[in-house]
Structure 1
Amino acid sequence: MQRRSDQSAATLVADPPEAEVSPRRPPAGRVKSAEIRDILEQEIATGERHAGERLDEQAVAARFGVSRTPVREAINQLASAGLVALIPNRGAFVRETGLGELVEMFEVMAELEAMAGRLAARRVDPKRRVQLAEALAACQSAAERNESDAYYYENERFHEAIYDACGNGFLAAEARRLHQRLKAFRRLQLRVPHRMRQSLAEHRRIVAAIEAGDGETAEAELKSHILVQGERFADLVASLKPKQG
């Protein structure tokens, strides 16, 4: 895949199909900083908010009908994920993420996850086996409902179970940090047609390998599972066609 670090990854992503898009504003009385963050995150990842654009706290608060406190919390979370830059005395601005940088992060993520899978196959205990099985079942339920956002959050739980099972706290912390950094893009690619089903099938193979104590296969499956989101990201982007008419 050709890398183009001078081009924003966000500008390459077309809006997801209308039926798959989450509500643009949560119901009144239920707006939380996490919900605001998710919506702003989606807008950044799809290019609706362009690199360099200022996030006006007051305008965002008015849009959601909340005080500036949850908005500030949401923006701080986006900054922690590397999607927003906080500039003293100026405010928060959408950060440009080049496609080359994005692919490099996916490559590192694949290596971290692969190592976690290999160690989990050797070290998983009965408690972690149950957690992994429950997370897989929750992913399957979300996929059967065809709810990509619900699947994404269950997918987070699935990968958390692998991190917990690997028995290496430092590795788990680094994987969680990068997972958070790539969240917006991993979430978006689940809206590609059939990707949820493919992801679920990959999850099943990963769990089977860990259950069998097969570290080599668990490592290979997890590496492939992440790289499909990175090395093939251009193909995933190309399949996200804007709604016509």
Structure 2
Amino acid sequence: MTELRQTLFAPTEQTEPLGIAQQLCQVLEDDIVRGKLPPGQRLEEPLLAKRFGVSRTPVREALQLLTATELAEKIPNKGVYVSLATPERLTAMFESMAELEAMCGRLAAKRMTSGERHNLEKIHHELAETVRLGDSDSYETLNRSFHNALYRGTHNDVLVDVTLSVRRRVAPFRRVQFQSLARLASSHEEHQGIVDAILRGDFKAAEELLYGHIMAVHDISQDYLSSLRDSAPPASSMAAGK
């Protein structure tokens, strides 16, 4: 229990402070996309509250957040069950994310100050060290910082808010990709092209590269979810409940 609580309430990136319910939701998201919670499994508030050592209130809020990411489904009069987005739905989410990131890249290439460009390049160099060390957790954290820096570089608060909202829905899949050390290297290589485009003010290249960068994650996520569906029990508790 102590270990779980230490993991759950570990400090998070200062630019994205998480409440207790959000932290609970993130743990559940990771459990689902890593196959620890299979499709169809019921998510029971009392058991989750006991697992995390919290009251049922933040658990209930976390389950509400989880259904918004479409990794869980609330069935009236039955409860909340693990579910996986259909291939079509996942594509729709990633296409939206890719378009928004592409727009951020285009505007950032035009509007970033010299200081902001320097900061982006600095984060990119820090990411290189995590790749060298094979430190996927640190890479994932710095990766968020990298993309956040791009968003802020647009100098468009409305676009930043919309982009962060959509990112929230695909975040579990963006995290799980980094279980592969090979993906760390390819992600960083894609970042290199993006940084180069930003630094030289090539907004068209930045736009195209960011779109491709996000859709690369889409392809990985589709393959990964397909493997989870294939390994799921043929008769889930959710299906029985329906």
TM value normalised by structure 1: 0.75
Return the offset for 1:26.
Answer: 6.6
Match of 1:166 among 154, 158, 162: 154
Match of 1:58 among 46, 58, 70: 46
Q: Which residue of 2 aligns with 1:185?
A: 173
Structure 1 segment 34-183 matched on structure 2, within 5 A: 35-86=23-74, 91-183=79-171
Distance 2:134 2:4 in 1: 25
Q: Deviations over 1:208-230 (max 9, x none)?
A: 11011011111111111111111
Distance 2:163 2:94 in 1: 11
* RMSD between aligned residues: 2.9
Residues 100 and 72 of structure 1, relative CA distance in 2, 3 Å threshold:
same
| Count of residues paired in the alignment | 217
Distance 2:76 2:157 in 1: 34
Q: Which residue of 2 aligns with 1:27?
A: 3
Asked if the contact 2:173/2:221 (under 8 Å) is kept, the reply is: no
TM value normalised by structure 2: 0.76
Distance 1:208 1:63 in 2: 46
Q: Which residue of 2 aligns with 1:4?
A: none
- Helix, strand or coil at the partner of 2:179: coil
Distance 1:81 1:235 in 2: 18
Deviates more, 1:201-210 or 1:43-52: 43-52
Residues 108 and 156 of structure 1, relative CA distance in 2, 3 Å threshold:
same
Q: Which has the higher helix share?
A: 2
Asked if the contact 2:109/2:203 (under 8 Å) is kept, the reply is: yes
- Helix, strand or coil at the partner of 2:81: strand
Return the offset for 1:235.
Answer: 5.1
Distance 1:117 1:159 in 2: 9
Return the offset for 1:41.
Answer: 0.9
Residues 73 and 103 of structure 1, relative CA distance in 2, 3 Å threshold:
same
Q: Which residue of 2 aligns with 1:214?
A: 202
Distance 1:122 1:108 in 2: 22
- Helix, strand or coil at the partner of 2:153: helix
Residues 149 and 65 of structure 1, relative CA distance in 2, 3 Å threshold:
same
Q: Deviations over 1:132-183 (max 9, x none)?
A: 2343233223323312232112111111111111122232222211111001
Residues 57 and 142 of structure 1, relative CA distance in 2, 3 Å threshold:
farther
Distance 1:132 1:40 in 2: 31
Residues 84 and 122 of structure 1, relative CA distance in 2, 3 Å threshold:
same
Matched, 1:201 2:177: no
